[in-house]
A = this chain, B = another copy of it.
Amino acid sequence: MNVSSVRHAVVIGTGLVGTSIALALRNAGVHVGLHDRDDDAVAMAVELGAGVAAGPEDPPADVVVIATPPSTVVGVLCEAQACGLGAVYTDVASTKERIVADVERAGADLASYVPGHPIAGGELSGPTGARADLFVGRPWALCPSQATSLAAVLGVIELVKACRAVPKTLPPDAHDRVLALVSHVPHVVSAVLAARFADADAGTLSWVGKGLRDTTRIAAGDPDLWCDILRHNAPAVAEELESVLLDMADAVRALRMTTGTGPPRAAGLVELLAKGNQGRDNIVSPQEHRRAA
């Protein structure tokens, strides 16, 4: 089924997200050309049915998806536009404000570029972790500016819908603040927790249960990619992480005040745990409601 005006797409970067987009587009009947600086990654994505290796003689695509790490997006966009690789361009980076500023500074064509970010992923990296249904029902952020053409926005919305995701527009700074909260800070916290086990012995590890496994799942993410994401969103992540740190320092203080035999004094601890309950309820409730609906 091809219900969209996007008939030909190019995906640059056949990692987990790029290959998943390519697979979803293939399922929607879109012709997909694949680019990656690593030929093996392209070959593997082709083998998975994500499309064909893009060639220099290919006609311009309807949409070009830049699925490379944040710090490379601007360079790849400028190069792709210079080659006339497509009519419309978008990216999938987890940070938006600095990329948008750098794209302007680099003198790229702003009319044809729609900054984007699908809110889906996984702790695996590379094409082998890719799934055609990765984006189904998930929000996909789009951060067009005044300079973005309506045609470009509509083209990328078609692409998002072909991936069965839900397009949502918001300003780049709002995107980066909310992503710091729901994704970037949890990643750092999970990594710090997992790092305590970097040198753990077999005896200690034999006591590990599901709780620790769940809290550290996202710590498996690629360190270079995540360092790039965190650096790109450094001010928002630092601010939010500092709030987490202060709450934790309060918990340590409360525990230090608790004595082994005296009355149980741990001011604020039960309140913090109750607030955690409330936050957890909020985190799962929209999902549960959606499922029930």
Where the two chains meet, the residues of A that have a C-beta atom closer than 8 Å to any C-beta of B are 71, 98, 101, 119-121, 138-139, 141, 168, 178-179, 181-183, 185-198, 200, 202-209, 211-221, 223-224, 226-228, 230-231, 234-235, 237-238, 240-245, 247-249, 251-252, 255-256, 258-260, 264, 266, 269-270, 272-287
Q: List 30 A-B contacts (CB under 8 A).
A: A119-B207, A138-B209, A139-B207, A181-B196, A182-B209, A182-B212, A186-B215, A188-B248, A191-B275, A193-B276, A194-B279, A195-B272, A195-B278, A197-B283, A200-B279, A205-B286, A206-B286, A215-B215, A215-B218, A216-B280, A219-B279, A220-B277, A227-B269, A230-B269, A234-B255, A234-B260, A238-B252, A241-B251, A244-B248, A245-B249
Cβ-defined contact, B273 with A226, below 8 A: yes
* Best-buried of A192, A202, A243 by chain B (most CB within 10 Å): A192
Which of chain B's residues have a CB closer than 8 A to the CB of A101? 260
Cβ-defined contact, B219 with A280, below 8 A: yes
Contact status of A198 and B282, CB under 8 A, knowing A211-B186, A245-B252, A252-B241: yes
A272 to B187, CA, bound (A): 11
Contact of A251 among B192, B202, B206, B223 (CB under 8 A): B192
Contact status of A276 and B212, CB under 8 A, knowing A182-B207, A230-B269, A266-B231: no
Min Cβ gap A192→B in Å is 5
* Best-buried of A204, A219, A240 by chain B (most CB within 10 Å): A219
Contact status of A178 and B207, CB under 8 A, knowing A227-B266, A284-B213: yes
Closest to A190 in B: B215
